[in-house]
A and B are shown apart, each in its own frame.
Chain A
Amino acid sequence: MLRLKSVKTLVIASAVSLAAATGALAFPDKAIEYIIPFGPGGESDISARFQQPFFKDKFGQDLVVSYKPGGGGAVGWAQLNSMAGDGYTIMGINLPHIVIQPAQKDVGYTTEDINAFYMFHYTPDAIVVTADSPYQALEDLIADAKANPGALTMSGSGKATANHLAQIRFDKMAGIKTTYVPFKGTGASTTANLGKQVKAQWGYTTVGAAQGDAVRMLAVAMEERHPLFPDVPTFKELGFEMVGGAYRGMAVPKDTPADTVKALSDMFGEINADEAFRKQMLDGGFALLDVGADGMAEFMKARKDEYVEAATEAGLLN
Chain B
Amino acid sequence: MPRQTIELSSRTGRKDIGTLIVASVFICLGLITLYDVTTYSDTDSVVFPTFVAYALIFCSVLVIIASWLRPSQSNGFGSGDWWRRLLLVATMLVACLIMPVSGFLPATAIAFAGGLFAARHEGWDTRSAVVFAASGIAIMAGFYALFRFALGVPLP
Contacts and interface: CB of A to CB of B under 8 A. Distances in A.
Direct contact of A and B (CB under 8 A): yes
Interface of A: 33, 35, 64, 66, 104, 159, 182, 315-316, 318
Interface string B26-58: 000000000000000110100000000000000
A214 to B, nearest CB: 29
B44 A33 contact: no
Nearest to A159: B42
B123 interface: no
Contact of B153 (A66, A159, A315): A66
Interface string B113-156: 00000000000000000000000000000000000000011100
B152 A66 contact: yes
A143 B121 CA distance: 78
14 contacts: A33-B154, A35-B154, A64-B152, A66-B152, A66-B153, A66-B154, A104-B41, A159-B42, A159-B44, A182-B44, A315-B41, A316-B41, A316-B42, A318-B41
A77 to B, nearest CB: 16
Give the top 6 A-B pairs by smallest Cβ distance, nearest first.
A318-B41, A66-B154, A64-B152, A33-B154, A66-B152, A159-B42
Nearest to A182: B44
Nearest to A317: B41
Contacts of A35: 154
Contacts of B41: 104, 315-316, 318
Nearest to A160: B42
Nearest to B151: A66
Contacts of A64: 152
Nearest to B45: A159
A316 B153 CA distance: 36
A315 B153 CA distance: 40
A63 to B, nearest CB: 11
Contacts of B42: 159, 316
Contacts of A104: 41
A311 to B, nearest CB: 11
B109 to A, nearest CB: 23
A159 to B, nearest CB: 7
Contacts of A315: 41
B52 to A, nearest CB: 18
B139 to A, nearest CB: 24
